[in-house]
Structure 1
Amino acid sequence: MSTTSLPPVVDAGTWQRELDSLRSREKAATRELDAIAAQRRRLPMVEMPDYTLEGADGPVRLAEVFDGRSQLIVYNHMWFPGEVWQCPGCTGFTTQFTRLEGLDNFDARFVIVTQGPIEEALAYKRRVGNAMTWYSTANSPFGADVGAGPGEGFAVNVFLRDGDRVFRTWHTAGRGTEQLGYLFGLLDLLPYGRQEEWQDSPPGWPQSPTYSRWSSSEDIAAAYGDAVGLPQE
């Protein structure tokens, strides 16, 4: 016998009416997201200085990070100096992105920028099996200037390039990044949702402390990464 509470069981007609009622709210939310995206496309922008970052092949200007595209999404990955395992939230979020070639058709690119020194950042990328392109802003004020400096949190920033000129067009942090990943969207479709204590769920639904079900950086490395990248004891 199941010890977990279950949704009520109804006939198919009742179920369809309840679904139709929910669907009207889902459609309204979709239209609101469309309107938000339309407002985002109308935001003004601010010109950025000519930053120099570090990539796998050495120094690279911010305009060159676009790799010939005109649009760039940057995930600013949290970094803790001297730590073997970096932020599990950032690690899990960015490891979702393994097929980014579709952005090519839209003149866009998506990369990671972190405060960690480039060699350490690339070693961590291998350790956890991350498939994205990484850059370091350890020797540049770029991270601090876009809301992700040393000791600060993660962020998403979007840029537009016009020749050698680069403009910042959008920024978000915290739960604003959820829209970019697939995991939470899938979990929110499930009857029990994310199963975290803060969520509004019926009595008896399984709920755990926030973050307790998230994969750790070690788990991600074990599943996808390169154990050779681990420091030796």
Structure 2
Amino acid sequence: MKTNALPPVVDAGTWQRELDALRAREKAATRELDAIAAQRRRLPMVEMPGYVLEGEDGPLRLADVFDGKRQLIVYNHMWFPGEEWQCAGCTGFSSQFTRTEFLDSYDARFVVVTQGPIDEALAYKRRVGNAMPWYSTANSPFGADVGAGPGEGFALNVFLRDGDTVYRTWHTSGRGIEQLTHTFALIDVLPYGRQEEWQDSPDGWPQSPTYSGWPSSQDIAARYGPA
């Protein structure tokens, strides 16, 4: 939605005072996120069964998905059987991660797991230009056991490996995924923000139905997929 609405114009001193007041809240939020991360590091964990998933080279154990690393982040991508275009939110989220090698320094890996059969999942990965490693849990209860079974939503889980034994250490879904994406962080610093109806914005600010500004899976494929 286009608009001519503008923030009020003030002198530099007034602007700095307003910014300083906001900055105090931003710093408090940062410290709270640090405290939350500290609590997350102290969570207990639960041992996982010996799941077998499917990858590009065939079946493999969940412990082997770590590819020698000790820590593993798994994004459970929604899957709709028989559909050409899968969840736009999942497609858009996972399309952001094109360079995850920095995780090597932290003995960690980040992968996608979906309920789709592996051949269909890999074909979709190529269609939308996704750069992440993909695995299938179509023939395993793994997805259902971590909050992302057939017909269910997306999820993000973190695992720790000790030898061949895998433990589940953290889980989130819904808006909990936002802390792992840079897209909303960038959009939220813009004067007009996400421009969605649910957001608290000044009168006259552009606002549209929730999700209406999100790219479709077709958009993602056009931007990142094969020419």
- TM-score, length-normalised on structure 1? 0.96
Aligned residues: 226
1:178 aligned residue? 178
**Within 5 A, what are the aligned runs for 1:153-164?**
153-164=153-164
State whether structure 2 residue 59 is matched by structure 1 residue 74: no
Write out per-residue CA displacement over residues 85-137 of structure 1, whole angstroms, 9 at most, x where no aligned residue.
Answer: 00000000000000000000000000000000000000000000000000000
1:226 aligned residue? 226
Q: 1:4 Cα deviation (Å)?
A: 1.9
SS in 2 for 1:167: strand
3-12 or 122-131, which deviates more: 3-12
Q: Which residues of structure 1 form unaligned runs of 5+? A: 228-233
Query: 8 Å contact 1:4–1:206 — kept in the other structure?
Result: no
Structure 2: distance between partners of 1:220 and 1:184: 16
Structure 2: distance between partners of 1:60 and 1:204: 55
State whether structure 2 residue 86 is matched by structure 1 residue 86: yes
SS in 2 for 1:166: strand
1:43 aligned residue? 43
1:14 aligned residue? 14
Structure 2: distance between partners of 1:41 and 1:12: 42
Q: Which residues of structure 2 form unaligned runs of 5+? A: none
The one-letter amino acid paired with 1:144 is: A
Write out per-residue CA displacement over residues 23-81 of structure 1, whole angstroms, 9 at most, x where no aligned residue.
Answer: 00000000000000000000000000000000000001000000000000000000000
Structure 2: distance between partners of 1:215 and 1:25: 31
Q: Percent identity?
A: 82
Structure 2: distance between partners of 1:162 and 1:47: 10
**Structure 1 stretches (4+) deviating beyond 3 angstroms?**
none
The one-letter amino acid paired with 1:199 is: Q
Structure 1: distance between partners of 2:70 and 2:108: 6
The one-letter amino acid paired with 1:12 is: A
Query: 8 Å contact 2:3–2:205 — kept in the other structure?
Result: no
The RMSD of aligned alpha carbons is 0.9
159-168 or 3-12, which deviates more: 3-12
1:52 aligned residue? 52
Q: Relative to 1, partners in 2 of residues 1:3 and 1:76: Cα closer, same or farther, differing over 3 Å?
A: closer
- TM-score, length-normalised on structure 2? 0.98
The one-letter amino acid paired with 1:71 is: Q
1:230 aligned residue? none
Q: 1:213 Cα deviation (Å)?
A: 0.7
Structure 1: distance between partners of 2:85 and 2:44: 38
Structure 1: distance between partners of 2:61 and 2:226: 29
